[in-house]
Amino acid sequence: MITVLRIGHRPERDKRITTHVSLVARAFRADKILVDTSDRELEANFNGVNDRFGNGVILETGISWRKVLKEWEGTIVHLTMYGMELEEAVASIKAIQDNNDILVVVGAEKVPGDVYKIADFNVSVGNQPHSEVAALAIFLDRIFEGRALRNFEGKMKIIPSNEGKKVVEE
Ligand code: SAM
């Protein structure tokens, strides 16, 4: 099971990025998303996608990240451009992953130093600054060996097409 923990979320500034982090987590086979700051609008937007495209992923906001990190019993992975190299980290994580819940932490602005210390793995997706959205997507896809993308059973189903939009609605 994979849980994504988004820390440093500022509802007034990070609305779109945190929504994108959550949707990427949902589409790339994470099971749960935790956001540190309470944000009812984010919850409503995310649940709207679940309603239309299919349920199965939970989003909770207003979570104490310190408590989650302290109490986590599985592997804690923190995505940071300063971290160890991705390929090496994924191999090590997969080696211990059996029956082990993974918590993937992504930041917003400056990430508190404690997070680096508590994490079992500080992992970089390249050593250039880019985006938590991209870092999360690539990390999940590597953990799932290139097969992270998934579909849901929902009211709306998109039929892949090269010509226009094909959508089946219940
Ligand atoms: N400057 C901030 C810091 O020192 O922690 C990071 C800001 S960055 C816009 C927001 C988040 O994107 C980071 O906390 C990290 O999770 C993720 N991120 C950005 N670039 C990354 C990279 N190259 N590898 C892994 N994660 C990255």
Tens of pLDDT, residue by residue over 114-130, are 999 999 999 999 999 99
Residue with the two structure tokens 């929902």: 154
Tens of pLDDT, residue by residue over 35-48, are 999 999 999 999 99
Is residue 96 over pLDDT 90? no
pTM, 2 dp: 0.96
The answer as to CATH 3.40.1280.10 being correct for domain 2-169 is yes
pLDDT value at residue 100 = 78
Is residue 97 over pLDDT 90? no
Tens of pLDDT, residue by residue over 129-165, are 999 999 999 999 999 999 999 999 999 999 999 999 9
3-state secondary structure of 157: strand
What are the structure tokens assigned to 65, written together? 């990240």
Q: Is 138 in the pocket of ligand 1 (CB under 6 A)?
A: no
3-state helix, strand, coil split of the chain in percent (to 5) is 40, 25, 40
Q: Is 113 in the pocket of ligand 1 (CB under 6 A)?
A: no
23 or 99: which leads in pLDDT: 23
Q: What average pLDDT is seen over the chain? A: 95
What percent of the chain is modeled with pLDDT above 70? Answer: 98
C-alpha 53/C-alpha 152 separation (Å) is 7
Closest C-alpha residue for ligand 1 atom 10: 108
Where do runs of H (alpha helix) occur along the chain?
A: 11-27, 40-53, 65-71, 86-96, 113-118, 132-143
* Backbone φ, ψ for residue 24 (5° rounding): -65, -45
Choose one of 132, 133, 138 to mutate for the ligand 1 pocket test, by most ligand atoms within 8 angstroms of C-beta. 132
